[in-house]
Amino acid sequence: MKNRLAEVSALGQSPWYDTIARDQIQQGTFQRLIEQDAIVGVTSNPSLFQKAMTTGSAYDEQFRDLAAQQLDALSIYQIMANQDIQNVLAIFRPVYDRTHGIDGYVSLEVSPLLAYETQKTIDEAKQLWAHLHQPNLCIKIPGIAQGIPALEACIAEGINVNVTLIFSLAAYEQVILAYLSGLEKLAASGTKPLHQVASVASFFISRVDTLVDHLLEEKIAATVDVKQQQQMRLLKGKAAIANAKLAYQLYRSYFVAGPKSERFKLLQAQGAQVQRPLWASTGTKNPAYRDVVYVEELIGSQTVNTMPPTTIVAFQDHGRVAATVEQGVAAAQQVMLDLDRVGIAMTEVTDQLEKEGVATFKTAFEDLLQKLDDKRRALAQQQANKGDQSAEKAAQSDGHSGEVAGANISSSMTAAENLAKS
């Protein structure tokens, strides 16, 4: 069978797997992905853990053990999630070693409840890094205003970072600058060789089309001008890929060629790695679009594409492999101009998506904790009920024994009285 993802790897893009679940660890899924699908990394997020931990029975045994220790829901989640991450880190460590630290990474997100608190994000990132203590761990930090200083601080400490929830070129540029500043601080401190620190910038794709297409539909419905309607229809499904192609050009300007790249070149001479763009949210949500379009259109050197299981299967089956991320850059710029012309402000779009992204992960995490807490309480109640039933049975047994003993004593006394009379 043709291994299309191996061909993608040959073009310089690293395919990663955007799912983590204990049953997949137990079934050997990750090892098969490495061997059969050229997968060289894994990403997780609160929504994925929510789905994994609240369906099926893979976590039940450990959950019961932890609940019996009177741990709260957050502690139970952390222990179970950390165990999953530890296991997957071990599976991908040979990939990390084989690629000399380019790939083999497994990402774990700081609590989304801390997204808008910079210092708490830094503190949790340090705790996770120290606890899991593996060189192929990536700590996920949101690429929002409060996350940018946390990124810089973590890189300066030698902590690998996956910067998540990037939607706009402006935010992406701030992420790049923070990465460079962090590397410069690390180089000045001399506490860790620069080549041992890695970072990826997760630029979200399909969500952009979902929102822009919705806005275009509203505008199409609001106008009677047939020509304008047609122009707007032609823009549907174009924004996300155009946005990503322009992001890749921004990456090149800072890390590959041009005046802005001089800053990184000095760090590269000391061993620093580029901060690769990672295409996230690449599963196609609109059934009207090709199911692998967000893979096919964004293949290129020094990039990562993290894909959900269905997208991996689909691409291996019928994906088209070509170096595409640098094709159609002028057309991508024109798409942005055309969107602005019809009244779609991309800054407003990306601001909304950023807020929604943080809120979605926060809601998923809160829902997960609530479900774990409900389950913990239900187990505690079951144990209490069993205890009550055992006590009741014991009491009944004691009562019956007392009755028997009383009857025996009465019988003995009657026998003694009869003997005395005789």
CB neighbourhood size of 374 (10 A): 12
Over residues 298-334, the pLDDT tens digits come to 999 999 999 999 999 999 999 999 999 999 999 999 9
Per-residue pLDDT, 391: 55
Q: Collapse the DSSP code of 321 into the 3-class scheme (helix H, G, I; strand E, B; otherwise coil) and give the result.
A: coil
Over residues 42-52, the pLDDT tens digits come to 999 888 999 99
**Superfamily assignment of 4-390 in CATH?**
Aldolase class I (3.20.20.70)
Question: What is the C-alpha to C-alpha distance for residues 291 and 313, in angstroms, rounded to an integer?
Answer: 10
Q: The pTM is what?
A: 0.89
Mean pLDDT of the chain: 92
Per-residue pLDDT, 347: 97
Is residue 229 classed exposed, middle or buried when 0-12, 13-18 and 19+ CB atoms within 10 A define those classes? middle
Name the E strands within 189-275.
Answer: 199-204
Q: Collapse the DSSP code of 66 into the 3-class scheme (helix H, G, I; strand E, B; otherwise coil) and give the result.
A: helix
Domain coordinates in residue numbering, the chain:
4-390
Per the structure block, which two tokens stand in for 335?
């798409």
Over residues 160-219, the pLDDT tens digits come to 999 999 999 999 999 999 999 999 999 999 999 999 999 999 999 999 999 999 999 999
* Catalytic residue (one of 126, 140, 219, 421): 140
Residues with Cβ within 8 Å of 132's Cβ and at least 6 positions away in sequence, in order, are: 82, 85, 86, 89, 108
DSSP classification of residue 328: T
Residues with Cβ within 8 Å of 32's Cβ and at least 6 positions away in sequence, in order, are: none
Per-residue pLDDT, 378: 86
Over residues 335-373, the pLDDT tens digits come to 999 999 999 999 999 999 999 999 999 999 999 999 999
CB neighbourhood size of 355 (10 A): 12
Per-residue pLDDT, 384: 66
Residue identified by tokens 């990306």 is: 350
Q: Could you confirm whether 140 is annotated as catalytic?
A: yes
Residues with Cβ within 8 Å of 84's Cβ and at least 6 positions away in sequence, in order, are: 20, 21, 22, 25, 44, 52
